[in-house]
Amino acid sequence: MIYQTQGTCSQQIDIEGRDGRITALQFYGGCHGNLQGIARLVIGMPYDEVIARLEGIRCGGKPTSCPDQLAQAVRLLKQQDEQRS
């Protein structure tokens, strides 16, 4: 799934999942090293855990952040998976 971020330095998140877990993740734009680290940490993690850990994180004075946008993308991926079932 391709997710267009809003309000962050990264512009896009490519994310894949199966059986309720993240299987692949790549950010485009943003702080490459940090986002690569986040991707490695969440691959294999259950959707709900990613959402619980990352949702609501803010960057500076912004109302969102790259981790928060990832949580939104995972929430959408989870909804799509549930609709297919």
Give me the mean pLDDT over the 4-13 stretch.
Answer: 97
Query: Does the structure show a pLDDT above 80 at 85?
Result: no
Query: Does the structure show a pLDDT above 80 at 5?
Result: yes
Place of tokens 């990264």: 10
Confidence of residue 31 (pLDDT cuts 50, 70, 90): very high
35 Cβ partners below 8 Å, 6+ apart?
10, 27, 66
Percent of the chain with pLDDT over 90: 98
3-state secondary structure of 18: strand
| Assigned token pair, 57 | 């994180």
